[in-house]
Amino acid sequence: MTLYWHGGNCVSIQNKEAELVIDPQDLEKELKLAKPAEVFLLTRLPDGQASDSKSVKIPAKSSSFIINMPGEYDTKGFFVMGLGEIVGGVIYIVESEGIRVCHLPDIKKELTDEHLEMISDVDILLADIGNDEDSNEITAKVINQIEPRIVIPIGYDPAKKQKTFLEEMGASGNEPQNKLSIKKKDLPQEETEIVILNAVK
């Protein structure tokens, strides 16, 4: 599995069969590409509406599979579970090649026991840390609640580096990389690892 961060909350996940893109910054543009991603997940629509709105416009000839509401989906080597609007958008769990990835948007408060029961055994957490330094403490607490093996911060301005968050997580010395390529057997087994990704186009 290979993961890329494209800025904002947009992350692409590639398995051996296909590419899945979460929260593309311009879905209409993406769908018009000569070879668009095979799967798109939408946690919120561009106009801020809830992701289960019926107003998503999909070209008639689009071959991409678009997920924009809670439920369970199995396509192109990805098993996807949308858990409903818990913290400002749909939380998606994506499983592929034995790795369980959680996309957690808009972290504003600690999760309840009910939330944690739904978000269990996460290998990689895509955590929206935002640009507000004051929210770093809450974000760190949520990460500790979930106890993922790897955390990839998203949803922030790369120019700001989010030093406070990185210091909070003990990762201030971590060097950014363009992608994360990983197999199940290579996941860290002891402490949670923070992986900083550059925003790539």
| pLDDT computed for residue 169 by the predictor | 73
Which of 11-15, 88-92, 179-183 comes out lowest in average pLDDT?
A: 88-92
Residue spans of beta strands (DSSP E) within the chain: 2-5, 11-14, 19-22, 39-41, 65-67, 71-75, 78-85, 90-96, 99-104, 124-128, 150-154, 180-181, 193-194
Residue 142 belongs to domain with CATH number: 3.60.15.10
Which of 55-69, 110-124, 163-177, 184-198 comes out lowest in average pLDDT?
A: 55-69
In a domain, 199, yes or no: no
| pLDDT computed for residue 62 by the predictor | 63
The string of pLDDT tens digits covering residues 32-54 is 776 778 999 888 654 444 444 34
In a domain, 12, yes or no: yes
In a domain, 200, yes or no: no
In a domain, 31, yes or no: yes
Strands 39-41 and 19-22: parallel
In a domain, 201, yes or no: no
| pLDDT computed for residue 124 by the predictor | 97
Range 187-200 average pLDDT? 90
Range 4-24 average pLDDT? 92
The string of pLDDT tens digits covering residues 66-120 is 888 889 999 999 999 988 766 566 788 999 999 999 998 766 777 888 878 888 8
How does 90-124 read in b/e, with b if 16+ C-beta sit within 10 Å?
bbbbbbbeebbbbbbbbbeeebeeebeeebeebbb
Range of the domain at 156: 2-194
| pLDDT computed for residue 195 by the predictor | 93
Range 158-185 average pLDDT? 79
| pLDDT computed for residue 161 by the predictor | 57
In a domain, 77, yes or no: yes
In a domain, 89, yes or no: yes
In a domain, 54, yes or no: yes
Range 163-192 average pLDDT? 83
pLDDT confidence tier of residue 138, bands split at 50, 70 and 90: confident
Range 139-166 average pLDDT? 81
- Work out how many domains the chain is built from and give that number: 1
